[in-house]
Structure 1
């Protein structure tokens, strides 16, 4: 029987975001899941690692449920952006396992606490630290889907693969020639607009 109610509905959105993110790694070689694709180093495996610590932090210590693995990332001396990439020694399997352990932390907290349960986000400004499970769940859903969007763009830059999820890419059923022409139309429109005076 499928659970219903607001909490179950929100939980399903979180699952959808998780699945979308992991799908973006499917079928790629080791280099491509790690390679930095933006000036700030955005990479697929790093997004997964980051979201693992996001879930562990928000659904663990925030609600008085310590998670040893997340503690180093909450320390004042944590390496900047250290959770946004995988070292050569960290395997893809280790990062994916870390993410699944984070899911277990999250799923247990969501399952055991009501949406009104109160917590405290220690790394937020003191004026905003007091939260409810409902607030945190919405926040992490937004963060997960935001990073799944990053992964969508990164994957398209790597090999052209795009879409919403396995079995439903949510894209027009057209060929590469159409996409090439479409992109050219956008480029032409952008260049034309750049020549126009403001408001003209």
Structure 2
């Protein structure tokens, strides 16, 4: 959503103080060339209450505690997702090993599997605990859905997940054109698509729900 300019904010405030309705203000601004998204963000900043002067709605603020919670939540999400993928890749390599590297593969994946499992044992409970606390806090204070750090980290997560999906699909097409499709390769493609697709779908749905409730 585009950020409104100071001139637009001053105009809306002055118009509301002169008794103009939001519909009339919106029509004038649209006629002047402002986009509906810009006008909506400013008009929605004021509550529809009967009072001589415009009454602002509460705005989302950023506290150190809130920033810490979101950073921990998204960091453990990335850490857990990476190690889940690593664990599944190692299991796929063991299930369908390269005949030329069969004995080496089993020895090489021992340490990796152990590390991935340890990471998931720690990361997943921390993520679940923090995500639950954040969700409960947002339910009690819906304005926190507009938290700047929440929006930034959500869009960064969508960007990373979309990049993983694009890279995964590109790799699939590349190997398909070269006739190098194997069960092991397709299984790894499916793992990346599942993890990245699940994260992308969940947070995209969360953003759309936020826009509907805004």
TM-score strictly above 0.5: no
TM-score (norm 2): 0.26
The structure that is helix-richer by fraction is 2
Higher RCO, 1 vs 2 (CA within 8 Å, ≥6 residues apart): 1
Which has the larger Rg? 2
